[in-house]
Structure 1
Amino acid sequence: MLKNLDAYSIRARYYPALLATIPGLAALAILISWSRFGLTTVVASTAIPVLVFASADIARRIGKRIEERIYEETGGKPSITMLRYSDDTFDAASKEQYRAFYASKINLPIPTEEAEQAKVKAGDAFYDRGGAWLRENTRDAKKFAVLFAENVTYGFRRNLFGLKWPALTLNLALVLLCGVLLDRRMPIDTDDDTTMRLIVVVALAVVHSLYMGLGVSKRA
C-alpha cells in the first residue's frame, strides 16, 4: 500500500489524518503496555495504521463535499468565476490573455461578454474545460513545483477541515473515557503510572481540541 502512495497523497491526505487523530493514536500508544506481547498489543498495532488509513479516506470524501458546499456559497468554483467578464479579480486585459490561451488549447471559441451574460453556464463550460486542460498538463510536480506546493497546502487544509468535527468528537470521547477511569482512581496518586498516563491523554485531547476548534476553519 505504501509503495503506491505519491507525495500529494502523503502530504494532503495522510498528514491531515495523522494530525486529526493524534490524541487517539497517543492514547493507544500511552495506555497500552508494550513491554510484553499480548492481545492488546496486537490490537493496538493493527488499529493504529487502520485508523490513519480510514481517516485519510474519510477526510478526502468529506473534504470534497465541503468543497462543493463552499463553491455553492461563494457563487461557484473560483477558477471559473474569476474569469467571468463580471468578475474584477483580474484586470480585463489579463483575462483576455487567459481566455485566448484556453481557446488555443481546447479548440473552442471564446465566449463574448454578451453571450456570457445571456447564458452564464455556457461561458462557465468554456472556463471549466480550460481548467481541466490546465490541470492535466501541469501534473509534473518537478516542473510546476510552486503550483504543486500550493495544491498540497490547499488539499491539506481542505481535508483537515473535513476531519474537524470527527476529531473533536474523538477528543470528547477520550476525555470522557479518561475522566471515568480517573474518577474510579480518586484521589489522584501522582506516583501511579497509569493515572499519569490518563492525565497526559486528557491534556493532549484538550490542547488538540483548541487547535482543531480555532485553527481549522472554513476561512483557511
Structure 2
Amino acid sequence: MEFLDAYSIRARLFPAILTIAPAVALALLATNWTDPGLSEIVSTVGIAVLFFAAADLARRMGRRRERQLFAETGGKPYNTELCHDNSTLVKGMRDRYRTFIARKINQAPLSEDDERQNPKAARDFYDECFFWLRENTRDTERFKLLFHENVSYGFRRNLLGLKPIGILLNILVFALAAAIVWLEPGFASLSDGKLVFLAIFSLIHAMFFIFGVSQSSVLDASRTYARQLALSTETLISSENKAG
C-alpha cells in the first residue's frame, strides 16, 4: 500500500500516466469494446499493470536524470537560503532561522567572516542545518505547503526523466495507428475519425514534452522547494514558543 501514498501517486504515477497516455489511447481506440473478448480483457489488465511499472520506471529515470542534471550544472546544489550573502529571505529572517537551527544541532551559528574564511566548513554546516530541517518537517499536514512543493519537484523531475520515452511513444503510436488503418487487422477497429483524433492528440502531447518539460522547470521547482523548506523554520520556532 506504500505505492498508494499521496507523494507516490502525484509525483510518480501521474508522470507515468502522462507519458504512456498515447499508448493507452491507442489501445482503447483500436480495441473493439462493443463485443469484448479475451484480447480486451488482457488489454485492460495489461494497462493496469503498466501503470504500476511505469510509476516505478518514472522514479528510477527521474533520479538518473537528476544526477545528470546536477553534473551538467556544476554538481549537486546545496541550500544557501540561510547564508549571509543570500537574498532569498530578508536578513532578519535568515539570522533568526540560522540561530534557531544552529542551537538544535548543537553548533554555533556562522558569522559572515566564518563563511568567507572557511567555505567548506560553511557548506557542511548548512548541509547539516537543512538535513535537520527535512527530518523535522515530514508531517505533511503540518507542513502542507512544503509537501506540495516537494511533490511539484518530484513530478517535474520524474517527467523530465521520462521525456525521451514520451516523445518516442508519440511517434510510435502514430505509426502503429496508421499501420492498423492500412492493414485492417481483425483484432482492431480504428476508423479514420479516430485516427485523426489520435494524430492531433499525439502532436499536442509531443509538443508538451518537447517544449513544456525542461531542465529549467526542474531547477525552478528545486529552488522553490528549498525556499519553502527554509521558511518552514518559522513554524518550528512558533511551535517551540507556544510550548515554552
Q: What is the aligned partner in structure 2 of residue 189 from structure 1?
A: none
In 1, distance between residues paired with 2:7 and 2:119?
A: 33
Aligned pairs (5 A) from 1:63-212: 63-72=62-71, 73=73, 76-78=76-78, 80-184=79-183, 194-212=191-209
In 2, distance between residues paired with 1:100 and 1:64?
A: 33
Q: What is the aligned partner in structure 1 of residue 220 from structure 2?
A: none
Where in structure 1 are there 5+ consecutive unaligned residues?
A: 186-191
Q: By how many angstroms is 1:140 displaced?
A: 1.6
TM-score by length of 1: 0.82
Q: Mean alpha-carbon deviation: is it higher for 136-145 or for 103-112?
A: 103-112
Amino acid aligned to 2:20:
T
Aligned length: 212
Q: What is the aligned partner in structure 1 of residue 229 from structure 2?
A: none
Q: By how many angstroms is 1:34 displaced?
A: 2.6
In 1, distance between residues paired with 2:152 and 2:58?
A: 14
* Secondary structure of 2:155's aligned partner: helix
Tell me if the contact between 1:63 and 1:162 (Cα under 8 Å) persists in the aligned partners.
Answer: yes
In 2, distance between residues paired with 1:4 and 1:208?
A: 26
Structural RMSD (CA): 2.5
In 1, distance between residues paired with 2:122 and 2:16?
A: 38
Tell me if the contact between 2:181 and 2:190 (Cα under 8 Å) persists in the aligned partners.
Answer: no
Q: By how many angstroms is 1:112 displaced?
A: 4.2
Deviations 1:35-65 (A, max 9, x none): 3343322321122122221221122222223
Deviations 1:98-131 (A, max 9, x none): 2212212222233444443454333222222221
2:75 is aligned with 1:59: no
- Between the aligned residues of both structures, percent identity stands at 39
In 1, distance between residues paired with 2:197 and 2:89?
A: 51
In 1, distance between residues paired with 2:41 and 2:104?
A: 55
Deviations 1:64-90 (A, max 9, x none): 233334344166425x23333444433
Q: What is the aligned partner in structure 1 of residue 213 from structure 2?
A: 216
Deviations 1:128-149 (A, max 9, x none): 2221221222122221222222
Q: What is the aligned partner in structure 2 of residue 32 from structure 1?
A: 31
Q: Could you say if the C-alpha distance between residues 67 and 117 of structure 1 is closer, same or farther in structure 2, counting changes exceeding 3 Å?
A: farther
Where in structure 2 are there 5+ consecutive unaligned residues?
A: 218-244
Deviations 1:134-190 (A, max 9, x none): 1222122221222222222222222222211111111111112223334447xxxxx
TM-score by length of 2: 0.75
In 1, distance between residues paired with 2:179 and 2:59?
A: 33
Tell me if the contact between 2:58 and 2:162 (Cα under 8 Å) persists in the aligned partners.
Answer: yes
* Secondary structure of 2:173's aligned partner: helix
Q: Could you say if the C-alpha distance between residues 155 and 120 of structure 1 is closer, same or farther in structure 2, counting changes exceeding 3 Å?
A: same
Amino acid aligned to 2:168:
T
Tell me if the contact between 1:31 and 1:198 (Cα under 8 Å) persists in the aligned partners.
Answer: no
In 2, distance between residues paired with 1:155 and 1:52?
A: 17
* Secondary structure of 1:81's aligned partner: coil
